[in-house]
Structure 1
Amino acid sequence: MNSDDRRARFEALAPAVIEAVRRYLARRTDPATADDVLSETLLVCWRRLDEMPAEHLPWAYGVARLCLANAERAQRRQARLTARISAFLTPGPPPPGDAGVTTAMAALRGEDAEILRLWAWEDLAPARIAAVLGVTANAASIRLHRAKQKLRDELRKTGAVAGHEESTEGRRP
């Protein structure tokens, strides 16, 4: 199939797919996620147009279902990342919302944010982080320790609670 035929086929079936998949997703998730998943579904449909059967709608629903599952996994990973970082930084249950952690993470250098994500989100120990980064386990441990400290500092700047700020042990009132 040449590119003009391919484009014509996609343009012919896209309106029906878009509306049906949009309704399908609207019943299953929030509007922002639905829009993202719809875009991803259409991209997969375009890439795999030659594999799309004549009964394209059930196939497109299947693609949307898998794309939605991927988006939900990503949201759960983000929530785990926020909870893990919050738990590390604050005693007790994590605070409601993640705006402070998100702001603090955004203020970090890319390398520091990445090592924290590998630790918190991907649940990697320093030895495995070392393999990802191509450094020694000792270097990864040091970088992780420094990144955690930088995150604490950023949280202090934003006014978010950063765990045990300061020990009062041995001090007189």
Structure 2
Amino acid sequence: MFYRCHVAAVERFVARRIQDPHAVEDITSEVFLAAVRSCRRFDPSGPAPVAWLFGISFRLTADYQRKSARRWRAQSRQKGQRELADDAIERLEQRIDAERAAFALRDELAKIPAQTRSLLELTALDGLSITDAAAALGIAPGAARVRLHRAKTRLRNELADSPLRAVATELDDASRKELHGE
């Protein structure tokens, strides 16, 4: 029951950080295995269970990304450049055009420190409260509020004059709702 209640949220969390769907599945299962192994340390009076799982997910995805980067560097040294077929070039051009806005947003998000970016994702995308998100990342709730406010302000300012104005508007709306307790 615990697995069924939380697997979709954990999978979404991991999928935002890892592109390979097979790796997403593997890491998601590793999260629940790690949760079972460390269940004695879970404090039911602490953060929500999903926040605890996101904390485990955060650490496992970071480990995977470090290992992938090492593997990629090693493969890059071993492989030469290969030629692309015409249809592959066309597919790449279509993908680049389709994801231009996503890349711009990703670039702006990349300028935010990883822990603060995760805080933003946990609250905006996963629906955790700031307190639960802070607990998942091991930071104080007050510090989380300050970091979240600064990150939203920075993104709002950076995106205001870009093709991503709609995202900046959504950040404004979200900030207003937080201030008014909606």
Normalised TM-score (structure 1) = 0.41
The higher radius of gyration belongs to: 1
For CA contacts below 8 A with separation 6 or more, give which structure has more relative contact order: 2
